[in-house]
Amino acid sequence: MQLYLACPCTSFPRSFARDYKETYRYPPPSTVYGLLLSLVGEVDMEAHRGVKIAVGIVGDDPPISRIVRKQRHHKFSKTHMGTYPTSKFSKPNHHELLTDLQIAIQIDSGEELATVKLVDRVAIALSAPSQISRFGGLSLGESWAMVNGVRAYRDADGSVRWLIKDNRGLIGLPVWIDRKTGQGIFQRFGWSDEFHLECLVEIPKPPTVEQKSKKTKRSTKKS
């Protein structure tokens, strides 16, 4: 299944971004996976691990805008007691935005572990939206970055440049972020004017019981 998505304004803050909110130039697979889960009304991030996703840019690269916006800084300690007055905990910071982003998304659910595959749930969401249950707006990235819509890709939408896996590529994007530890899995990419299987990136399957036990044994030996 190949989808077309248009987002008028969004941002993908880099993992190391702090005060200056620098954005990734292209949508990370981890973010696109989250959007697809939101599209079908799935709240469990683990539900469709093993799915493969390819991301392509339709047309030219989206321009980057730099704005100044208010950012809150919370300090957690006994003295503050959950009270954060704007005068003390807010300050202006620079933030990068991507505008007029148009992307193509390819989904391959062949190696998914779920009983009902993500590609099938997306097809139902597009053809018979009354059959799914979801809430909130559909965003690509942060909650304010709402998309114009998602539909099947058409040739009239324009040519697609696909991100393709390349260990020497200049584009590094997160594929999976562990919400418990904050650690991520990253992949480097190059460009391809045609779609290849190497464009597909797997959202990693959860570790098996055997893999978990090996990690536990290693950590025990180190300690």
Could you list the residue range(s) of the whole structural domain that residue 202 is in?
2-222
| pLDDT of 160 | 97
**Distance of alpha carbon 196 from alpha carbon 29, whole angstroms:** 16
pLDDT computed for residue 76 by the predictor? 53
State residue 88's pLDDT score.
Answer: 63
Residue type, 123: A
Residue 77: predicted pLDDT: 54
Domain harbouring 41, CATH code:
3.30.70.2660
* Burial classification of residue 104, based on how many CB atoms lie within 10 Å of its CB (0-12 exposed, 13-18 middle, 19 or more buried): buried
Give the model's pLDDT for residue 152.
96
Of 187, 194, 32, the closest CA to residue 118 belongs to 32
Residue 218 to residue 31: CA distance in whole angstroms: 31
pLDDT, residue 200, reads: 98
For 141, what's the count of Cα atoms within 13 Å in the CB-facing half-sphere?
A: 24
Tell me the pTM.
0.85
What local confidence, expressed as pLDDT, does residue 23 receive?
Answer: 93
pLDDT at 202: 97
pLDDT of res. 183: 83
CA distance linking residue 70 with residue 84, whole number of Å: 14
How far is the C-alpha of 61 from the C-alpha of 76, rounded, in Å?
Answer: 40
Domain count, the chain: 1
Which pLDDT belongs to residue 9?
Answer: 96
pLDDT of residue 206: 85
- Provide the pLDDT for residue 211: 54
Residue 85 half-sphere exposure toward CB, CA atoms < 13 A: 3
Low-confidence ranges of the chain (pLDDT < 70): 17-19, 71-92, 209-223
Is the distance from CB of 164 to CB of 129 less than 8 angstroms?
A: no
